[in-house]
Chain A
Amino acid sequence: MKNNSFFYFLTLNLLKEKRRYAGIVIISSLLIFLLSSVLFISSSIKQTLNYTLKAQPDFIVQNIKGGKVAPINSNMVNKILNIYGVEKVTKRVYGRYFFDDKYSTLIVGVDFLDEQSNKNLETLINSTDLKQFLSKEQMIIGQGVKNYLKTHYYNLEYNFLTPDGQMKNIKIFKTLSSKSAIISNDETIMPLKSAQKVLGLKENKITDIALNVPNDSEWQTVKAKLQSLNFNIRVISKKDMQKAYESLFNYKGGLFLVLFLIVIATFSLLLYLRYTLAASLERKEIAILRAVGWSIKDVLKLKFLENIFLVIFAFILGSSLAYIFVFVLNAPLLKNIFLGGSNLTNFAKFTPVVDYGVLSTIFIIFTVAFLSSVLIPVWKIAVTEPKEAL
């Protein structure tokens, strides 16, 4: 190990037998490429969602009737304001508006003159010229909505059909930037009153109430207090939502990983067979090494370093290809598995994330499978008696 001639021999051997290893390296990198693309996409989306989640309000209060979410009275806001420790209690009106049976937009009604519990909305409002915006009934729309309306020749305004059978004409004020496109892509933001009309809500009814609690050690207490306001209230905290996202993407990534284990098992079997067959070819080579004085230990070391080198090479190749595929080429084909919906898609780009946890996961799963399947065949080659082989 100490002398460099050993490593010189190792690299020389690898370079000389390029063709012998090419097949293994290609298949290995392909497998790693596939697995890492999927895991990269999932961790990138998770990161983006967490980023958006940070801006969300800490608590959401809903009214439940018969197990379903029902409109809540807007005077509930005053009751919530009486609880110590809460701030930025916001009325929210939102719901889906279907353009046709396939495409829909998320209507978000905002009281533009009130303070906001959602930080993204807060920055949006601060950057909007409110005087101009509120001068007539206008809305701010996401990229996807804009594209849809454009193809249907609504460049400046849109006529919403309200549930009570009337037309509601609202002008387009501006388009949201595409920075956090996954969320805001199909959103339409408009004043509370307009949203109530479009969604068919009565004047004193809202969808839910959002609020913030700056001191997070108070969360449990505030939650209990909110819950005790009325028996049919449901309180959703930010942590619940984070957990739900986490488990959704774990589910998608995990299901893929479980299926991938089967592929890995098949691959291991192939490797085992290939190395067992190769044993007969390599015997002579090993016998010569043994004859010139190598011990079994040295031969084992050589063979293992060879395979470790192959694994690391395939890992670097496969994962960097996946990085390019996902973050530069934006994962064509594969991204639909995760993003799903065909609704107003105008998804911008995956945020590049290098998650060491994911990388080590890929490395471990592959190294374990690869090395354990070649271990016994390699040993069989190494213990060949020179006399028998030559």
Chain B
Amino acid sequence: MNELFLNNYVIVYLFSETVLFLMALYAFFKDIVILKYWDFESFSARQLKLEKQGYLLSTIATFIFALKFILLIYFVYMIDSLSIIIPGAMCGAGVISANSYGMPLLFIKLTTIFTFLLFLTLNNLDLKAKNYPLLKLKSWVLLAALLLIFLESFFDLSYLFNIDLSVPVSCCSALFGNLEGANPLPFGLNIKNLLILYYTLYIASVLAILLENRFLTAFTLILFAIISYYAVVYFFGTYIYQLPTHKCPFCMMQKEYYYVGYLVWGSLFIGLFFGLIWVIIGFLKYKNKTAKQIAIASISLFVVLCSSYVLFYYLKNGVFL
């Protein structure tokens, strides 16, 4: 028995994921029935039953979404605390790359949360109207979200069962540091161009949302998220750690840095998710002012937070790193 499975966090995490998996399985079958037999024009008993089951599905989806959101934070926290047990790891970066399932798992988790958020927005719009105009669409979205949960469960188990405690993993400086002078940035960028791109894309995304240009918003937001990842790891992160050689997306979630990583990554992803949701429901001819406002506020918070670390470092020390 791997001693990993006696870690309190791992036990609770697996338990919660299992419960959610069972709920998702239940919802999955109900959802298929709805997709197959839904007929709003019909007055049959089955249709009435299905309408009621729609409520059950949206309740289960809300429940799963809320817990998935908490569990994502818990998962990151768990990964971080496992770094004591796993040889060589000093933060979550080493643990998550202990095998090839880790990074995809994290990505699937984010996608699942996004899909559920999309479902909940559609569900809200659907219930406001009298005749369930979005039912088929939202059921398909829910189906996708539930399938993602099944995929996630598979990756969860594969990831945790394949962590070998006898093999040392790399620490973040080995994973993200400048190795042999090779440039880790995409498109052959250097730090200066990366920052120019970062701020330009930020302004472009906000303008695109304000001008209600949906294609442009989707394009700039996704590009902004990708560039932000590199900007935080290779530039802003070094100011958070106050060390020019420390390049890591995970260490900032530790106590030493006041858990600021959760806020940094959280604000970026919330901004991205709400921006994309606004784009998608816009194509369905719905308006949602709140999603728009949250998206702008959240990415602005992200940019201000990152920049203020640089600014305060400069004000305190009079030099840049």
A residues neighboring B (CB under 8 Å): 39, 242-243, 246-247, 250-251, 253-255, 257-258, 261, 296-297, 300, 304, 357-358, 360-361, 364-365, 367-369, 371-372, 375-376, 378-379, 382-383
Contact = CB atoms under 8 A, between A and B. Distances in A.
A266 to B, nearest CB: 14
Contact of B11 (A258, A360, A382): A258
Contact of B23 (A253, A297, A375, A382): A375
13 contacts: A39-B8, A247-B3, A254-B5, A254-B8, A258-B6, A357-B77, A360-B77, A361-B8, A364-B16, A365-B12, A368-B16, A375-B59, A382-B55
Interface in B35-65: 52, 55-56, 59-60, 63
B9 A296 contact: no
A255 to B, nearest CB: 7
Interface in B1-27: 3, 5-9, 11-12, 15-16, 19-20, 22-23
Contacts, number: 81
A375 B9 CA distance: 25
Contact-residue bracket for chain B? 20 to 34
B85 A246 contact: yes
Interface stretch (B67-75, B100-108, B178-186, B238-246): B67-75
A254 B20 contact: no
B263 to A, nearest CB: 16
A254 B19 contact: no
A254 B59 contact: no
A372 B19 CA distance: 8
Interface of B: 3, 5-9, 11-12, 15-16, 19-20, 22-23, 52, 55-56, 59-60, 63, 67, 70-71, 74, 77, 81, 84-85, 127
A296 B85 contact: no
A358 B84 CA distance: 16
Contact of A242 (B6, B11, B67, B84): B84
Contacts of A243: 84-85
A361 B12 CA distance: 7
Given A243-B85, A383-B55, A257 B67 contact: no
A364 B59 CA distance: 18
A255 B8 CA distance: 9
Contact of A368 (B5, B19, B55): B19
Contact of A250 (B6, B22, B67, B71): B6
Contact of B67 (A39, A368, A379): A368
A383 B9 contact: no
Nearest to A358: B8
Contacts of B12: 257, 361, 364-365
Given A296-B52, A372-B19, A379 B59 contact: yes
A364 B85 CA distance: 23
Given A368-B67, A369-B19, A371-B63, A297 B55 contact: yes
Contacts of B23: 372, 375
Nearest to A39: B8
A368 B127 CA distance: 26
Contacts of B81: 357
A216 to B, nearest CB: 11
A376 B56 contact: yes
Given A251-B3, A368-B19, A360 B74 contact: yes
Given A250-B7, A254-B5, A364-B67, 6 more contacts: A250-B6, A255-B6, A261-B15, A368-B16, A376-B56, A379-B56
Contact of B71 (A246, A261, A364): A364
A383 B52 contact: yes
B11 A261 contact: yes
B15 A250 contact: no
Nearest to A383: B52
Contacts of A357: 9, 77, 81
Given A243-B84, A379-B59, A254 B74 contact: no
